[in-house]
Amino acid sequence: MANNPFDPYYSRSEVSNSDLTSLKYKLYPQLNFLKEKDKLKAFHLGTLIDCLITEPEKANHYRFTVDDEQYTEKDWKWGISMRNALIKASKKDKFLEYVLANSDSQKWFSNEDMVFEYECFTFSLPVRCKFDWWLGNFGGDLKTTAATTQAQFEAEIDFVDWDRSRAYYMDIVHSINPLLGNQDFIYAISKKNKKVFFKKILRGDSTYLSGREKYMNLAFKYWFAV
């Protein structure tokens, strides 16, 4: 969910979804409407949620730290409340219960020569992705959201390009093995009312196709630029 600066994965050179986002904002700076301090705060809190839910062994509950990143007691209590909301939701959601109990957390993949076919062009790029949850042949992502309803959450998937990241991840692992990445999912915890929202994505459905078009367009521009 968040770019943890202490994770060596983020210093790798392959093209990530974050790299595509950076290119998008260079090309279309008017779309980069969030202030930098707000982005840093979101990454900071996202790292906390990721840790508490997917890598709890990294959380120091006495010092309020994740690795070397310091949090306030207020932030920590908020993070715990978000984690608890997800655990509570899993009591009624069998799939979420299974994900929390059985997934391989923070699983990453790379393909040094992924082939893209976009319009009339065929090209390749070294690529990488990292799943919050991996279930053997597909994975999923953990998000926090300002949405308070399922409809708002689904609109956000398109607005903030979560469809792009999911399609990109699906296709990276699919390029490694066609048995992988044929479905995906997102769980999102509302920052406003602690509701938990879910979206299942299947290869070929509307969310996948919209996300694939977005990442293909940016990947082509990335390849063309380099």
Contacts of 110 (CB under 8 A, 6+ apart): 12, 14, 126, 127, 128, 129, 172
pLDDT tens column, 185-223:
999 999 999 999 999 999 999 999 999 999 999 999 999
Single-letter code of the amino acid located at 76:
W
The structure tokens listed for 184 are 């995906």
Q: What's residue 217's pLDDT?
A: 97
Q: What's residue 17's pLDDT?
A: 97
pLDDT tens column, 154-193:
999 999 999 999 999 999 999 999 999 999 999 999 999 9
Domains of the chain plus CATH, in order, are: 10-31+93-225 (3.90.320.10)
225: three-class secondary structure by DSSP:
helix
CA distance 168 to 178: 14
pTM (global) more than 0.85: yes
CB 83 within 8 A of CB 49: yes
Whether residue 5 is predicted with pLDDT greater than 60 in this model: the reply is no
CA distance 104 to 87: 17
pLDDT tens column, 33-51:
777 787 788 889 999 999 9
CA distance 79 to 52: 7
Question: What backbone phi and psi angles, to 5 degrees, belong to 128?
Answer: -150, 160
Q: What is the mean pLDDT of the chain?
A: 94
DSSP output for 14-61: SBPHHHHHHHHHHH-GGG--S-HHHHHHHHHHHHHHHHHHH-GGGEET
In sequence order, what E strands does 78-193 have? Answer: 104-118, 121-134, 139-145, 183-190
pLDDT tens column, 85-110:
999 999 999 999 999 999 999 999 99
pLDDT-above-70 percentage for the chain: 97
Q: What's residue 3's pLDDT?
A: 55
Q: What's residue 209's pLDDT?
A: 98
Whether residue 140 is predicted with pLDDT greater than 80 in this model: the reply is yes
Confidence of residue 26 (pLDDT cuts 50, 70, 90): very high
Q: What's residue 7's pLDDT?
A: 65
